[in-house]
Each structure stands twice: as structure tokens, then as C-alpha cells.
Amino acid sequence: MLQCTKCGRKYPLEKHQQRCPLCNEPLEVVAQRGKIREGKRVWDRFRDFYSYMNLDMKYSLGEGDTPLILSESLSQEFKAEIYFKNETVNPTWSFKDRGTFVALNRALSLGFDKIGVVSTGNMAASVAAYGARAGVKTFVLLSSTVSQEKISQIGIYGAKMFLIDGDYGALYFESLKIGERLGIYFMNSDDPFRIEGYKSIALEIGEIDYVIIPTSSGGLLRGIMKGFLEMKESGLIDRLPVPIAAQASGCAPICRAFREGGDVRRMENPATIAHAIENPYPPSGNAALRLLRRYDGRCVALDDEDIIRARRKLAKEGIFVQPASATAPAALEKLKDLKGKRIALILTGSGLKTKGIEYISQIPICKIENIEGCMGEI
Ligand SMILES: *Cc1c(COP(=O)(O)O)cnc(C)c1O
Ligand SMILES: [Zn+2]
């Protein structure tokens, strides 16, 4: 079954549905329980937690099973046990691959032969890669502020790209309508099966006191907490970690709502160097807020200077992350009571950028009112 993250209403798993028609809040797969099984891959060891669907390894690019590394210097500095969950080593260099793999399996099981995504870059690269692997047509709607470096990666996988001129927050909802009309499965940031993929991060970590999560749309936070909750309900861990959302000060709609109360509101004029977490109107914002409030979580907003400093600090330990990911180590400085705690920092994506302008001139610029027309023959 699928279940609304707000009202709890249930919907059949067989039907393609991503949000609750009553609340307009994201759906999720009902909580699973299980044991740890034998197997090399996370998808094998934790197959009980995905027993409602078939994960075909033919479409896998080797996502997940990333290293959990003790940070000697941060542990010393904060007198705690601090681990890096290094997601930069995923096939397209961000954790998005875990979610894309599961969502792609979902799309194919429902008979879709076209997939799509709305993204500022990392998720688009991931969907383009897995779409290529599966041989399905892939459509990527990019905000017109996307960097040329990211476009070179998406381009080589062969996805059809569209730079969308218009409100990025509205684009998300627009994509779901277009998907319905054109038979494209949009596996956006809050897709229930993308969230299922992210839950594997928690399954790999196990018991911990705090988990610090760079947060934009809120999907990653939802997935990680779902994983910990299912482990606890299955008796695999004794307690849940305290969830800590890390946002950039220049775009922190979830932290603002957490502080002021109420639902998430659109952030005007977002501005940060951490572009991967620059969603001004996060589709899973309220769902993430519910988790932070229910599990005594925190939300920390970091300035660009904090982010730049933390990024250099990580590089000194041999890890090169995107500015978005550096919000996790930067958040440590803002927290109290870390002494003696076991803490996992989710290092969400790699800092490696490739130069590439070879595709930019070929991408049509579309008006948000006329994306379909602009997409032409698909
Ligand atoms: C997508 C992304 C995030 C945030 O994930 P959400 O699910 O949108 O909250 C954080 N860091 C990086 C590098 C990302 O690509
Ligand atoms: Zn609902």
C-alpha cells in the first residue's frame, strides 16, 4: 500500500500515484519489516524491506554500499565519534542513484517506457544515466540557472534536456501533469519509490545518535528517517537517531518554518553557492517538518562562508564534496551536546566538476506555459 505522509489515508500500490489528492502531500510506501539476510549488496541484505517489489539488478549501476568512514580530526575536535557516509562514490557521484534505481524499477514495472525528472542537476544526471542503462527515453527539465558543468554530464548520457524559463517551484507540479498526459514517469525528488531507495542509506548505517542531512526538497531526510524507523520496528536498532536538517541560509524554507511554526512557505530570491540544495519551495518540506517535529530534530542554516570553510576541512581529510554536502560538517559547529555522541554526516555528492559547454547551445529554452509544445515530437 501507499500511504499519505499527512493524513495516513491508504492507496493501492498498483496505481501510479505520488501525492495525496486530499492533502496534496507526498505518499510513501507503508512501513516494512524484516531481517538482515545474507548477501553482498545492500539490495540483497535488506531485500525484506523491498519485498513489495522486484528490484531487477540488470538496471543497477552499483549504487549504494558506500563507505562509512571515521573522521579522525572531527572526532577529536568535537570529542565525539563522527562518521562520513561517503555518497560521493555512487555511480553518478551523488546519493540520488539509490532513489533513481528503485524508482526506475517502479516505472518499468508499471509499463512506462519514458521517464523524466525536474532537477537542478544531480538528480537529472542520475536519471539520465539510469534511463540510458535501461534504454528508455529520458526527459530532463532543468531550471535555466543550471551550470554548464552539470549539463555536460547529462548530455553524454543522451537524455533530452529542456531549460525551463519560469518559476522552478511551479515546474515541479507542472511536470506531474505533463507526465500524466504524455505517459512519462516523472521520478522527482519526492517520488515514493525514490524515497525507498534513499532509505537504504539508513539500513547501511545502523544505530547512531545523530544524523546530519543536507536538505533541499526534503526527500533525502524522509528516506533516511523511514529507513531508521523500519529498522527500529524490526528490532534491528534500539533507538532512532536525532535528525538534523542542514540547509543553506540563502535558501532555508524548512528551517524557517521549523523555527516559526506552521507549513513551509516559498522562499523568495534564494541565493547560495550550494545550488544542489537551493529549492525555494520544497515538495517534501512539510513531510520533512513533520519528522523533525515528531523526532525532536533540529534544522541548521549555514552561511556560504561556513560552507566554504567546511568544504576545505573535508578536503584535508581526502574528501571532495559539493558545497551542498559541506553543510553537514558545517552544521557541527552550530550544535551543542555532541560530546561522546555517534554522529553520521551524509556527504551527499562529489565536488568534481567537468568543464563542458558542448551541449548548452543545443538546448531549447521553453516558456513554462508551453513546455509540451516546446518539447515537440517525443
Ligand atoms: C539532492 C541533493 C541534496 C538534497 O536532497 P533532497 O532530497 O532534495 O532534500 C543534498 N545534496 C546534494 C549534493 C544533492 O544532490
Ligand atoms: Zn492525505
Query: 27-29 and 2-4 as β-strands: parallel, antiparallel, unpaired?
Result: antiparallel
Answer yes or no: is the C-beta of 188 below 6 A from any ligand 1 atom: no
pLDDT-derived band at 112 (thresholds 50, 70, 90) equals very high
Q: Are 147 and 347 in contact (CB under 8 A)?
A: no
Distance of alpha carbon 277 from alpha carbon 40, whole angstroms? 32
Helix residue ranges per DSSP H, the chain: 42-45, 72-78, 96-109, 122-134, 148-157, 168-182, 192-205, 219-233, 253-260, 285-294, 304-316, 327-332, 371-375
The CA 20 to ligand 2 mean position distance, Å, reads 5
- Cα–Cα distances in angstroms (integers) from residue 16 to residues 42, 243, 301, in the given order: 26, 30, 35
Please give the grid coordinates belonging to residue 365: 529554452
Distance of alpha carbon 347 from alpha carbon 39, whole angstroms? 25
Q: What is the rounded average pLDDT of the residues 289-303? A: 98
Summarised one tens digit per residue, pLDDT across range 216-261 is 999 999 999 999 999 999 999 999 999 999 999 999 999 999 999 9
The CA 9 to ligand 2 mean position distance, Å, reads 6
pLDDT-derived band at 152 (thresholds 50, 70, 90) equals confident
Answer yes or no: is the C-beta of 18 below 6 A from any ligand 1 atom: no
Q: Cα 232 vs. chain centroid, distance in angstroms? A: 22
pLDDT score at 1: 97
Residues 6+ apart with CB under 8 A from 32: 48, 49, 50, 51, 52, 230
pLDDT-derived band at 267 (thresholds 50, 70, 90) equals very high
Answer yes or no: is the C-beta of 324 below 6 A from any ligand 1 atom: yes
pLDDT score at 191: 98
Query: 68-70 and 81-86 as β-strands: parallel, antiparallel, unpaired?
Result: antiparallel
Q: Are 165 and 144 in contact (CB under 8 A)?
A: yes
Phi, psi (rounded to 5 degrees) for 343: -130, 135
pLDDT score at 359: 55
pLDDT score at 354: 43
Q: What is the rounded average pLDDT of the residues 177-190? A: 97
Identify the nearest ligand to the CA of 323 by its number. 1
pLDDT score at 146: 75
Answer yes or no: is the C-beta of 94 below 6 A from any ligand 1 atom: yes
Reduce the secondary structure of 28-42 to three states and give it as a string.
EECCCCCCCCCCCCH
pLDDT score at 327: 98
Q: What is the rounded average pLDDT of the residues 164-190? A: 92
Cell 519514458 -> residue: 114
- Residue 91: pLDDT above 90? yes
Please give the grid coordinates belonging to residue 84: 562520513
Distance of alpha carbon 21 from alpha carbon 41, whole angstroms? 36
pLDDT score at 147: 72
pLDDT, averaged across the chain: 94
DSSP reduced 3-state for 176: helix
Helix residue ranges per DSSP H, 135-284: 148-157, 168-182, 192-205, 219-233, 253-260
**Which ligand 1 atom is at minimum distance from the Cα of 214?**
10
- Residue 356: pLDDT above 90? no
DSSP reduced 3-state for 133: helix
Of the candidates 239, 197, 209, 200, the one whose C-alpha atom is nearest the C-alpha of residue 83 is: 209
Share of the chain above pLDDT 70, in %: 98
Note the pTM of the prediction, 2 decimals.
Answer: 0.94
Answer yes or no: is the C-beta of 219 below 6 A from any ligand 1 atom: yes
Identify the nearest ligand to the CA of 194 by its number. 1
pLDDT-derived band at 98 (thresholds 50, 70, 90) equals very high
Angle (CA) 40 42 43, round 5°: 105
